[in-house]
Amino acid sequence: MTLDLSLLPDGGMPWITASGPHADIVLSSRVRLARNVAGFAFSPRARDGERLRVLQQVRDAAGHSELLARAVLLRVDEMSVNERRLLHERHLVSKELAELDSPNARSGAAVLVADEAALMVNEEDHLRLQVFRSGFDIRGAWERASRADRDLGDILPLAYHREFGFLTSCPTNVGTGLRASVLVHLPGLVLTQEVGKVLSGLQQMGLTYRGLYGEGSEVVGNYFQISNQTTLGRGEDELCDHLSRVVSHVVSREDEARRVLIRDAGYIIEDKLWRAYGTLRYARSLSVDEAMNLLSGVRLAVGLKLVSGLSVYTLNKLLVFSQLAHLSLAEGRPLTESEASLARARYVRGVLAEEAGPA
């Protein structure tokens, strides 16, 4: 099958518009709910036939949810590695569902993509509902996720225990099954060497952080995904409000760090950021890490209003479309890493020349 991305509303990335609050620092807010259908073994343990029946039941139930009724079904189990990687690069499927190291994803693996939501089916839990919002809007994501969860749970009998709450494959998700997260860009705190203190503070407050692609991914380009660590013993509203309060504090610390940088080291920062911009505009080969780091510099420059004519939307687009599977799709064939480095530099040059005008 060939993945037709035009089927996806906003390409499955409502957050890319950068239209939400604090979009210069917070790229996206996300709420994820883990649920299982009663009467079936959890997906990793289930037989192929059981997973296919789960998929059928979830599809039927999704038709009753306002958020998911017009969703596009993508059968991850019928996709090539490159197509699965592409969905992963868009944050629509997890590494677990995409099984990037395997020639085939497990049977029944699928994702329903709607305007603001992606519902993974047969990940380690039968249902992984994700709602995305642009910028800093945990509350908005939670309200939408909660409504869709009720719609689904009215049709599907979900696995639930009076003491332990919603039951999940891994006990780290049990209870609310809720993981709220924000993807933040913190170059100011990294450059002022304050980030270590902020990150260790997060852990003391029951939160955790990861890289751009969640669990197991490295921190590259100063992007951090901050989320709640525990899911049991506190209510959904409390978990979301707590994360919002802490992130709001992190955002103001980042703002403050940026002011300090400009005040105390204005010309050094300005030079560093323009050099990043220059490299992106003229380089002939860019590795993915180098591109991420340089784009981080340009994002900071746009946030500090040093560079004009370049939108946060364009930067969000570059972040996703300069990755391996997206470049391969554009070239019409799977690329090796070194071919991708050339294609990446060409793509970034093209976008910057077109959208930012003459340097």
Regarding 236 and contact with another protein (CB under 8 A), the answer is yes
Alpha-carbon Rg for the chain, nearest whole angstrom, is 21
Question: Are the C-beta atoms of 69 and 63 separated by less than 8 Å?
Answer: yes
CA atoms within a 13 Å half-sphere pointing along the CA-CB vector of 185 = 27
- What's the CA gap between 339 and 89, in Å, rounded? 18
Residue 9 vs 153, nearer CB to another protein: 153
The binder of another protein chosen from 3, 5, 41, 306 (CB under 8 A)? 41
Please choose, out of 113-121, 150-158, 189-197, 301-309, the segment that lies near another protein by the rule CB under 8 A: 150-158
Contact region with another protein (CB under 8 A), list: 40-48, 63-71, 197-205, 271-279? 40-48
- Report d(CA 20, CA 124) in Å as an integer: 31
Distance CA 346, CA 335 (A): 14
Q: Min. distance of Cβ 64 from another protein in angstroms?
A: 11
Task: Give residue 52's region: left, alpha or beta (phi > 0; psi -120 to 50).
Answer: alpha
Binding test (CB under 8 A) with another protein, winner from 91, 106, 144, 179: 106
Candidate ranges 31-39, 253-261, 316-324, 345-353; the one touching another protein (CB under 8 A)? 31-39
Among 14, 20, 135, 165, binds another protein (CB under 8 A): 165
Q: DSSP string spanning 258-320?
A: HHHHHHHHHHHHHHHHHHHHHHHHH-S---HHHHHHHHHHHHHHHHTTSS-S--HHHHHHHHH
Q: In angstroms, what is the minimal distance from the CB of 222 to another protein?
A: 23
- The candidate with the shortest Cα–Cα distance to 120, out of 160, 155, 169, 87, is 87
Residue 357 binding another protein, by CB under 8 A: no
* Residue of 25, 121, 141, 174 that binds another protein (CB under 8 A): 174
Nearer to another protein, 159 or 182 (CB): 159
Told to check if 57 binds another protein by CB under 8 A, we report yes
Other residues' Cβ atoms within 10 Å of the Cβ of residue 69 = 12
Interaction pattern, residues 309-338, with another protein; x per rule: CB under 8 A? ------------------------------
Mask 184-223, x = binds another protein (CB under 8 A)? -------------------------------xx-------
In contact, 187 and 194? CB cutoff 8 Å: no
Nearer to another protein, 234 or 249 (CB): 234
* Least separation in angstroms between CB 155 and another protein: 7
What is the SS3 assignment for 44? coil
Stretch that binds another protein, among 34-42, 79-87, 111-119, 301-309 (CB under 8 A): 34-42
Give the binding-site size for another protein (rule: CB under 8 A).
55
- Single-letter residue type at 53: R
- For another protein, the closer of residues 3 and 232 by Cβ is 232
At 16, which amino acid appears? I
Q: Which sign does the torsion angle of CA 314, 316, 320, 322 carry?
A: positive
Q: Of 234, 94, 135, give the one whose Cα is nearest residue 177.
A: 234
Instruction: Work out how close the CB of 266 gets to another protein at its nearest, in angstroms, rounded to a whole number.
Output: 41
Instruction: Please give the distance of CA 108 from its chain centroid, rounded to a whole number.
Output: 23
Q: Which of 12, 8, 15 is nearest to 182 (CA)?
A: 15
- Shortest Cβ 42–another protein spacing (Å): 6
Write down the residue that tokens 């629509």 correspond to.
92
Of 63-71, 104-112, 133-141, 283-291: span binding another protein (CB under 8 A): 104-112
Binding site for another protein (CB under 8 A): 36, 38-42, 44-50, 52-53, 57, 96, 103-104, 106-107, 124, 146, 153-167, 169-172, 174-176, 178, 215-216, 230-236
